[in-house]
């Protein structure tokens, strides 16, 4: 009932239908990650440069421009991916089809890592944005981030239709308020001659070095995360899908560039510096809008879009996991649609992993970012390289131009991958670099298991095997272990008689000599069924029974294993179980899991008897 309240009632499978999005709703659905990443990208660039003082910070804008250049390249590359893979060209599919299974799986692994980190980074950065305006919240970073995670998880478990609507508001609120603020800032500065070219001197704790600049660049590259989202989701667009998706991508890239260049430029040329724990974007908003309503609105909309950005992962991760699972690289249950026609297992898995990251990194987005850009750029590079081969193989119209664009994209993102991987290695990128091959290895292990299972269960082995068995058709021998004489036993005997005329009861004698009494009673009620008394000098129930079963099978001529019929008392309340011997349970699990040889094992017949109270 609680489940229905939060998740909603189940939806029949037949109501599953395509829920196409127009450009406005598609932008809301796919862009939050991409647009909001300017929040942490700005912050990371600032933190990387501030150690070199004023001379460091004076490089913010040039670095921002370089990243914007990379953004344009990557956007064009993905624009082409949309043309080449109109049915949705996630990095996994593009890399797998063009480069081979292992590169495809590497792209998939980096995407899974990336989705998880995006969720964690977005949520923690969202908390940072709101805590910048209400500093008392800094103390509660982790619980707040976990709370937002819970909300996002529930919304996603409810299903995609609600998701679309829930997201449009924050995205457009963010776009409108932010663009207005940037425009207002520029105009204000022009009118009051507020732009500075000479900076206040800020002391440097480190000299400005090439390494430092590269670090700032790597840190800022997180601005590009989320740009690939549209290329994965082409089929969700209204027709003509390819055209609409392409346009939406270009609009989104333009907005990303505008927000990024605008905010980083204003920050530098208004000489904005944060006070205390606040983020650099909060400091910029403070400078432009003062302390009033406008400022609070900006911070709230930053928080909202960041929380919604985490949602991008919740769309991407479960879908990719389901694709991988249906290809046999992840557990099959990930392909199952839950009550609300969403991949519930994938959503819950992502939520658990994200929660773990937030707890481990104490809700600090700055600590999480270094792990994160590597995975994104590995998948960018693999996907772009795949596209190069794609154009080379298909050779359609303008293939040389297209190949060149993707080729430049591949080289640029490849170089960025190397820069990020090396400059951020010790700060955490090593974790992702280590994780990706491990995950690929796991993919293969899972597939191996499924393949081996399928081979063992193959129907092709049926006919021969079956013929032999039908020929040797004899009555099933049944063994009935008893611990005392009670009414549950009567039911078990009745069933045993219905299914076999070869029944053997056994009593395991734990208390020495208790067997005589039991045997007398037994013969009074069931004289037609033989009872064996098995002594158990060490008071174990299991091992004398197993030994007896083995001996009994060896001595019989029918070449099959005797079935065990177990009367099981089921108490009315769960806690009552500690008041009863768990013998039936113990016997069941030791029969079920005792691995003697492969293939068919001993049949267990469970005769439940429900108790009152």
* Residues within window 465-484 making contact with a copy of itself, judged by CB under 8 A: 465-466, 469-470, 473-476
Q: At closest approach, how far in Å is the CB of 105 from a copy of itself?
A: 17
Q: Is 605 in the site for a copy of itself (CB under 8 A)?
A: yes
- DSSP reduced 3-state for 613: coil
Q: At closest approach, how far in Å is the CB of 7 from a copy of itself?
A: 13
Q: Map residues 395-434 to x or -, x wherever contact with a copy of itself holds by CB under 8 A.
A: ----------------------------------------
CA angle at 546 for the pair 544 and 548, rounded to the nearest 5°:
65
Neighbours of 209 (CB within 10 A): 11
Which tokens in the block code for residue 174? Answer: 């963010």
When the beta carbons of 194 and 571 are compared against a copy of itself, the nearer one is 571
Which tokens in the block code for residue 289? Answer: 């809008």
Least Cα distance to 217 among 22, 56, 1 occurs for 56
Q: Is 251 in the site for a copy of itself (CB under 8 A)?
A: no
Q: Is 441 in the site for a copy of itself (CB under 8 A)?
A: no
Q: Which residues contact 218 (CB under 8 A, 6 or more apart)?
A: 373, 416, 419, 420, 423, 424
First to last CA, the chain: 25
Q: How many residues form the binding site for a copy of itself (CB under 8 A)?
A: 87
Q: How far apart are CA 463 and CA 485, in angstroms?
A: 44
Please answer whether residues 339 and 400 qualify as being in contact, where contact means their C-beta atoms are separated by less than 8 angstroms: no
Q: How far apart are CA 108 and CA 398, in angstroms?
A: 29
When the beta carbons of 206 and 465 are compared against a copy of itself, the nearer one is 465
Alpha carbon separation from 147 to 144, 355, 362 (Å, rounded): 5, 10, 14
When the beta carbons of 178 and 329 are compared against a copy of itself, the nearer one is 329
Q: Is 527 in the site for a copy of itself (CB under 8 A)?
A: no
Which of 210, 457, 471, 559 binds a copy of itself (CB under 8 A)? It is 457
Q: Map residues 2-41 to x or -, x wherever contact with a copy of itself holds by CB under 8 A.
A: --------xxxxx---------------------------
CA angle at 472 for the pair 470 and 476, rounded to the nearest 5°:
95
When the beta carbons of 362 and 521 are compared against a copy of itself, the nearer one is 521
Q: Is 563 in the site for a copy of itself (CB under 8 A)?
A: yes
Q: Is 326 in the site for a copy of itself (CB under 8 A)?
A: no
Q: At closest approach, how far in Å is the CB of 152 from a copy of itself?
A: 24
Residues in the chain: 613
Place of tokens 């989202």: 229
Q: How far apart are CA 509 and CA 540, in angstroms?
A: 9
Q: Map residues 530-559 to x or -, x wherever contact with a copy of itself holds by CB under 8 A.
A: ------xxxxx-------------------
Which of 169, 352, 434, 499 binds a copy of itself (CB under 8 A)? It is 499
When the beta carbons of 161 and 461 are compared against a copy of itself, the nearer one is 461
Which of 300, 450, 529, 556 binds a copy of itself (CB under 8 A)? It is 450
Which of 238, 339, 364, 553 binds a copy of itself (CB under 8 A)? It is 339
Which secondary-structure segment (H or E) carries 118? Answer: helix 101-133
Which tokens in the block code for residue 263? Answer: 């905010």
Q: At closest approach, how far in Å is the CB of 427 from a copy of itself?
A: 32
When the beta carbons of 205 and 498 are compared against a copy of itself, the nearer one is 498
Residues 39-78 that bind a copy of itself (CB under 8 A): none
Displacement of CA 371 from its chain's centroid (Å): 16
Q: How far apart are CA 250 and CA 229, in angstroms?
A: 12
Residue 606 φ then ψ, to 5°: -100, 120
Which of 135, 240, 333, 530 binds a copy of itself (CB under 8 A)? It is 333
Q: Map residues 265-284 to x or -, x wherever contact with a copy of itself holds by CB under 8 A.
A: --------------------
When the beta carbons of 362 and 576 are compared against a copy of itself, the nearer one is 576
Residues 564-603 that bind a copy of itself (CB under 8 A): 568-572, 576, 578-581, 588, 591-593, 595, 597-603
Which of 8, 331, 407, 414 binds a copy of itself (CB under 8 A)? It is 331
The per-residue DSSP string of 184-206 comes to HHHHHHHHHT---SSPPP---SS
Q: At closest approach, how far in Å is the CB of 580 from a copy of itself?
A: 7
When the beta carbons of 415 and 462 are compared against a copy of itself, the nearer one is 462
Which secondary-structure segment (H or E) carries 569? Answer: strand 563-570
Q: How far apart are CA 500 and CA 474, in angstroms?
A: 10
Place of tokens 């469970």: 606
Q: At closest approach, how far in Å is the CB of 507 from a copy of itself?
A: 15
Q: How far apart are CA 114 and CA 417, in angstroms?
A: 14
């Amino acid at each position: 009932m609680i489940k229905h309240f939060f998740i909603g009632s189940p939806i029949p499978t037949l109501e599953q239908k395509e829920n196409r999005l127009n450009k406005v709703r598609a932008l809301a659905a796919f862009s939050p990650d991409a647009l909001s990443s300017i929040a942490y990208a700005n912050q990371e660039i600032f933190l990387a440069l501030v150690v070199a003082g004023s001379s460091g910070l004076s490089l913010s804008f040039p670095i921002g421009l370089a990243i914007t250049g990379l953004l344009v390249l990557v956007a064009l590359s993905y624009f082409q991916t949309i043309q080449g893979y109109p049915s949705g060209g996630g990095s996994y599919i593009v890399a797998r089809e063009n480069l081979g299974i292992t590169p495809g799986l590497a792209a998939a692994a980096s995407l899974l890592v990336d989705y998880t980190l995006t969720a964690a980074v977005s949520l923690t950065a969202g908390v940072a944005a709101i805590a910048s305006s209400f500093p008392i919240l800094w103390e509660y970073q982790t619980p707040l981030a976990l709370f937002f995670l819970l909300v996002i998880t529930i919304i996603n478990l409810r299903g995609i239709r609600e998701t679309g609507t829930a997201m449009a508001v924050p995205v457009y609120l963010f776009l409108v308020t932010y663009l207005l603020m940037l425009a207002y800032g520029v105009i204000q500065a022009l009118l009051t001659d507020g732009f500075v070219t000479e900076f206040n001197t800020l002391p440097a704790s480190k000299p400005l070095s090439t390494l430092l600049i590269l670090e700032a660049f790597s840190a800022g590259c997180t601005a590009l995360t989320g740009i690939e989202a549209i290329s994965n989701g082409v089929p969700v667009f209204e027709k003509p899908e390819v055209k609409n998706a392409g346009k939406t991508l270009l609009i989104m890239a333009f907005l990303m560039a505008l927000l990024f260049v605008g905010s980083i430029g204003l920050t530098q040329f208004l000489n904005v510096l944060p006070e205390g724990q606040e983020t650099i974007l909060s400091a910029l908003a403070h400078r432009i809008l003062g302390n009033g309503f406008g400022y609070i609105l900006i911070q709230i909309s930053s928080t909202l879009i960041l929380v919604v950005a985490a949602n991008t992962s919740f769309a991407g991760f479960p879908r990719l996991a389901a694709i991988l699972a249906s290809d046999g690289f992840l557990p099959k249950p990930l392909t199952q649609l839950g009550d609300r026609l969403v991949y519930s297992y994938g959503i819950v898995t992502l939520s658990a992993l994200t929660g773990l990251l937030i707890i481990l990194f104490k809700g600090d987005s700055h600590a999480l970012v270094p792990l994160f850009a590597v995975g994104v750029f590995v998948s960018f590079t693999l996907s772009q390289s795949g596209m190069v081969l794609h154009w080379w193989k298909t050779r359609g119209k303008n293939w040389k131009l297209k190949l060149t664009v993707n080729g430049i994209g591949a080289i640029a993102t490849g170089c960025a991958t190397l820069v990020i991987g090396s400059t951020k290695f010790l700060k955490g990128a090593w974790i992702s670099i280590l994780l990706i091959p491990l995950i690929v290895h796991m993919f293969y292990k899972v597939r191996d298991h499924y393949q081996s299972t399928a081979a063992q269960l193959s129907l092709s082995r049926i006919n021969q095997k079956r013929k032999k068995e039908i020929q040797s058709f004899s009555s099933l021998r049944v063994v009935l272990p008893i611990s005392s004489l009670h009414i549950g036993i009567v039911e078990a005997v009745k069933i045993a008689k219905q299914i076999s005329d070869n029944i053997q009861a056994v009593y395991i004698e734990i208390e020495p000599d208790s067997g005589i009494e039991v045997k007398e009673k037994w013969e009074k009620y069931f004289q037609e069924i033989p009872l064996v008394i098995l002594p158990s000098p060490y008071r174990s129930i299991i091992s004398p029974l197993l030994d007896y079963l083995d001996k009994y099978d060896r001595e019989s001529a029918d070449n099959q294993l005797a079935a065990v019929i177990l009367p099981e008392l089921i108490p009315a309340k769960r806690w009552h179980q500690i008041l009863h011997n768990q013998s039936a349970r113990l016997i069941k699990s030791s029969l079920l899991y005792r691995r003697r040889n492969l293939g068919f094992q001993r049949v267990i017949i469970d005769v439940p008897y429900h108790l009152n109270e």
